Chain A
Amino acid sequence: MDLAFTAGESAFRAEARSWLAAHVPCTPLPSPETADGFDRHRAWERTLYEGGWSAVSWPEAYGGRGGSLLEWLVFEEEYHAAGAPVRVSQNGISLLAPTLLAHGTEEQRARVLPPMARGETVWAQAWSEPEAGSDLASLRSVARPAPGGLLLSGHKTWSSRAAFADRAFGLFRSRPGAGRPHQGLTYAMFPLDAEGVTVRPIGRLDGRPAFAELFLDEVFVPDADVIGAPGDGWRVAMSTAGSERGLALRSPGRFTAAARRLVALWRAAGDPGDTALRDRVADAVIRARAYELYGYGRASGDGAGAGTAESSPVKVFWSELDLALHETALDLLGADGELADTDWAEGWTFALAGPIYGGTNEIQRDIIGERLLGLPKGRRG
């Protein structure tokens, strides 16, 4: 048992660090929740791609770097330590790509993944509906057969990045009469500028259009854009749902970087006599280190712990840690803690959504109880 990086891993870190030092914008990009800011972030994705860093863990054939899980963790540590921009391609790279790699056809991978890696196609997720949130399987949007494909109709919502994204992937009911709610669902990809699609941006808590609702009226999708077998969408979606909840979506490097900034803030602005606040800073440090070590354990493993249910405690852990880090920082800022134009305030707004998206933390606790602890299923609510 060790935590020693090999010469190759250290060289990888050095290469990532020096590339980031040379390329990360000196002044922060405008918010990706604005049209101009989004374009700038898209351009940054292209820069990352040209450096070979946009999809570290993907196979090289699709525009990735063919890196190991450990290399990806190292890259993420360096990325966040460098204060590099938010990844607007995150949904595609960490949610859709694993699904395509597991369930897509070779044609789909070759067609979809390279433009995703280049930042040319930015993806949004279209799962939730107004009446299907935590109870996702009760979704009502439909996919009706049409010559050569499907016609999608319905109302999707809370679709992150959809205000400015190019395409979306989602779940649709293709067999309304199926016995149970999660049967007869189909996983499909569609363009957000297609005929029949209306995108209505929604202001998140701070008013910025970080997500959107989508109205679909007989949107044609060719058979080639269905992932997995028609009717098998639930299994396809759930088999990679762990990506959204676990390490892949929010890597430890994000939190260790924030914890280091928090300690620096504590040293600069903390009252040494305020041991209550000092304990909160320390607690955030301890939890960030725990997540970092957890990641190293996973990267050392043989895939054990990578299942969908195993990602549930991870999601609860990082989403609560993210809030604790930012809440503690805002408390440290004194009167400036109310100002909205600080990185900490921006991070806090972002962190507030963590316990909600990707399946609420209450749903994760159900999964932990039932699938990891073996407790009996109960009626929800």
Chain B
Amino acid sequence: MRFLLDAEQKEFGRTLDRMLTASGTPQAVRAWARGEYGPGLALWQRVADAGVFGLAAPEAYGGFGPLPAELAVAFVELGRHCVPGPLAETVAATVLLAHLGGTGPAREWVPRVCAGRARVTLTLPGGGPYALDAEAADAVFTVTGSGLLSLSPGHGPVRPSVDPARRPARPAGGGTLLASGPAVRAAAALAADWAAFATAAQALGAGLALLDRTVAYARRRTQFGAPIGSFQAVKHRLADAFTGLEFARPLVFGAAVALAAGSPTARAEVAAAKAASCDAAYTAARTALQVHGAIGYTAEYDLSLWIGKARALRSAWGGPAECRARALELFAQGSG
């Protein structure tokens, strides 16, 4: 057993971190929130060039995967840097189409998605009715509960999200039917697991960013003649936020190992990771807001970008109750 990232995986995370730090993501996020996608799409291309969108797709379709541990490393960084766009949806689309295989939509879309030349989003059964960032996408896929995979002809109005950089819209009905049947349902279920998994890693990254920024603020901000981080009431909230994130991380990588192995418990492992990391990220968000005080409650201050995301990611790809119901299966086989 070696339940640790290797040197190459760690370096991959550091490389992404450096690249995103240099990219000025908050400006791209704010532009994206206004529906100005240019800076965000430039960032998107850099993420694609780093290989991130090929991590769930097999080599046959232009990817490098499936490499869920690397995907988790990448999505922690995407979350940490608040990168906008249909990130988990892109992962899910590559899994869905590649799993269906063949020479049709998989051949047409997956290599271009991996290379960053096409942006896609989707809806899946059980994943909510909204296609995230449909307006910025070249294709919107839908899968119905009865197993019909279609290319949607468009989308409805963009709805506001508590994370302004997320722009959900309902796919338009009808469109081109690409595939149907039990194979579509099975591929869609797997794709939804990957979407939840990517979202868990992204939430963990968002939580880590919220904690880092808030610790820095608590060291700097002085009241009553002392840095507020020296007060136990503040320190202990930050300690709890840290502990929550610290113990969400092994669940995210445990889910990665289960997905890589095709384990029968993968869905439960993903659900546990999603529940824990979204809880930890939201706790970090509440702590961040409270410790910053009024300045944290402004849209102008960049902290708001992560606070909204931590809330929105909880509801995406399986809310807390749904994830908990699935996670029960982890220890369902009795003792031993």
Contacts and interface: CB of A to CB of B under 8 A. Distances in A.
A378 B239 contact: no
A362 B327 contact: no
A297 interface: yes
B335 A285 contact: no
Contacts of B1: 2-6, 9, 70, 296, 299-300
A293 B230 contact: no
B112 to A, nearest CB: 29
Interface string A282-303: 1101111111011011011100
Given A1-B9, A283-B324, A374-B219, A257 B236 contact: no
B232 interface: yes
B180 interface: no
Contact of A3 (B3, B275, B276): B3
A5 B240 CA distance: 32
B238 A369 contact: yes
Interface in B1-47: 1-6, 9
Given A279-B320, A286-B327, A313 B232 contact: no
Contact of A285 (B2, B226, B257, B327): B327
Interface stretch (B56-64, B94-102, B129-137, B244-252): B244-252
A293 B254 contact: yes
B230 A375 contact: yes
A301 B327 CA distance: 27
A231 B184 CA distance: 72
A62 interface: no
Contacts of B248: 290
Contacts of B324: 278-279, 282-283, 286
A210 to B, nearest CB: 26
B327 A372 contact: no
A373 B239 contact: yes
Contacts of B276: 286-287, 290
Interface string A242-282: 00000000000000110111011011000000010011011
Contacts of B240: 316, 365
B257 A3 contact: yes
B232 A278 contact: no
A5 B232 CA distance: 42
Contact of A316 (B238, B243, B332): B243
A1 B69 contact: yes
Nearest to B326: A282
Interface in B297-335: 320-321, 324-325, 327-328, 330-332, 334-335
Interface string B239-283: 110110011101101101100010000000100100110000000
A377 interface: yes
Contact of A365 (B69, B235, B257): B235
A282 B235 contact: no
A32 to B, nearest CB: 22
Contacts of A86: none
A225 interface: no
Contacts of A180: none
A373 B2 contact: no
Contact of A260 (B257, B275, B331): B331
- Chain B CB within 10 Å, residue with most, of A3, A9, A279: A3
A369 B236 contact: yes
Contacts of B238: 368-369, 373, 375
Contacts of A3: 1, 3, 254, 257
Interface in A42-65: none
B293 interface: no
B251 A289 contact: yes
Contacts of A260: 331, 334-336
- Chain A CB within 10 Å, residue with most, of B9, B69, B227, B247: B247
Contact of B235 (A4, A316, A366, A381): A366
Contacts of B331: 256, 259-260, 263, 285, 288-289
Contact of B250 (A256, A261, A297): A297
A375 B218 contact: yes
B2 A1 contact: yes
A266 B325 CA distance: 12
Nearest to A296: B3
A277 B250 CA distance: 25
B51 to A, nearest CB: 18
A296 B257 CA distance: 13
A236 B188 CA distance: 57
A69 B331 CA distance: 23
A370 interface: yes
In the A-B complex, the 4 residue pairs with the closest CB atoms: A378-B230, A282-B324, A293-B250, A369-B235
Interface of A: 1-6, 9, 17, 70, 81, 256-257, 259-261, 263-264, 266-267, 275, 278-279, 281-283, 285-291, 293-294, 296-297, 299-301, 313, 316-317, 362, 364-366, 368-370, 372-381
25 contacts: A17-B336, A70-B1, A261-B335, A264-B334, A264-B335, A275-B321, A275-B325, A285-B331, A286-B275, A287-B247, A288-B331, A289-B272, A289-B331, A290-B272, A299-B3, A313-B242, A313-B246, A365-B235, A366-B235, A369-B235, A375-B215, A376-B226, A378-B226, A379-B230, A381-B232
Given A296-B1, A301-B4, 15 more contacts: A3-B3, A5-B1, A264-B335, A289-B269, A290-B247, A293-B254, A362-B236, A366-B235, A366-B236, A369-B239, A373-B239, A375-B230, A375-B234, A378-B230, A378-B235
